[in-house]
Amino acid sequence: MWRPINPYGVVAATGEKKTRGLYMIYIDIESGELFLKRHLSTHSEPISCAVRGRILYMTYQNDSGRAADGGILNYSIMPGQLSLVSRLAYHGHTFKQVCVQPETHHVFAVGLSHPEVACGLMETKNPLKMKELKHLLSRRVTEQQVSEPVFVGVTSDQKRMYCVDRGTDEILFYTYDPQGTLKKDEEHLLCFETGSGVSRMLFSPDGQYAYVLLSKLSLIKVYRYHDLSFEWIQDVSTIPDDFEGENVACSMHVDDHGFVFVTNDGHASVAFLKIQEDGTLLKKDHTSCGEGPCDLTIVDHHYVVVVCQKQGRLEVMSLDEENQRLTPLRTGYPIYSPISIAHSDIITR
């Protein structure tokens, strides 16, 4: 008989050669404690990781400069181990973040050192095959503004792939076809205040609302979304009104129960918000955490695991959805300079 056991979290960590790589972390659902299962050393510094089903996708730095290096690695996740499936490389380019669409077999990525967006295809048996690479074309690039794509995703209706450009404070849209061909949508574009640091856009579980994170302003912009139309309805700060220090809102996550989480680097906290019936956000709490929170993951709707890069630690918070509270636990795990986290539920006999 098959049964689910406690999830594994996979953490990408930078640092010295002996400590950098991927860490498989076992999460005890009963207590929230974290235990190291395996450390997989990588020859270059990891940049980000994402999980879809049983597959882990990792981007990493091309330190060698070789055309066959860099790109995306994908691993099969099994109890206690990671098995390399394939690598997707493109002329030695390094990618910052990857978005996977299992329904359409597309893989999208944004360049780290090159202002570009890429599209690849997943083969049926899992290997990745790059089909096309296109440079971003921005309408507001000047000597003071340099294109810096930081995030890619797909609209909730899957009509467009979008790319968030922090350098020009824009969100650009692309059409894509089953062959992986990208074409820029010249009609649709979201623009934001110069210097606001737009870094992410996510959608509500029902797909009717979009949430855009402006990192440097510590602000979430809320839009009503329908058929490539965005109607602004609300601005929400990610930090308390009485906080006067410097802050950067680093990452944002929306779970399928209608909660929004944002990490605040400066205020050293996780902002906890609830999506209302009209799509607006209601702030519920700001829960303190270690220094430099840069990413998080929600596990089984019971725990939030926060990546505190400057603190060199993973921290665990208990999530009480019924009472809408986040409570720090005394559990956690030290990892030198962690930068990204994703998790998968493992099934075993």
Q: How far apart are CA 308 and CA 225, in angstroms?
A: 33
Q: How far apart are CA 319 and CA 285, in angstroms?
A: 11
Query: Is domain 47-191 annotated with CATH 2.130.10.10?
Result: yes
- Tens digits of residue pLDDT in 83-138: 888 888 778 889 999 998 878 888 899 988 778 888 888 765 555 555 666 655 54
Residue 4 pLDDT > 80, yes or no? no
Residue 5 pLDDT > 90, yes or no? no
Q: Give the whole-number percent of the chain exceeding pLDDT 70.
A: 91
> How many CB atoms are located within 10 Å of the residue 17 CB?
11
Among 136-145, 166-175, 217-226, which is the least confidently predicted range? 136-145
| 3: confidence class by pLDDT, cuts 50, 70, 90 | very low
Q: Give the whole-number percent of the chain exceeding pLDDT 90.
A: 58
Q: Which pLDDT score is estimated for 347? A: 46
Domain residue ranges of the chain, discontinuous segments joined by +: 47-191
- Tens digits of residue pLDDT in 42-97: 888 899 999 887 888 899 898 888 887 888 888 888 877 888 888 887 788 899 99
Contacts of 143 (CB under 8 A, 6+ apart): none
Q: Which pLDDT score is estimated for 133? A: 61
| 300: confidence class by pLDDT, cuts 50, 70, 90 | confident
Residue 241 pLDDT > 70, yes or no? yes
Residues 291, 294, 297, 301, CA torsion sign: positive
Residue 1 pLDDT > 50, yes or no? no
User: 0.95 exceeded by the pTM?
Assistant: no
Residue 286 pLDDT > 80, yes or no? yes
Starting from the edge strand earliest in sequence, which strands make up the sheet with 128-135, in order? Answer: 95-101, 106-111, 116-122, 128-135
| 141: confidence class by pLDDT, cuts 50, 70, 90 | low
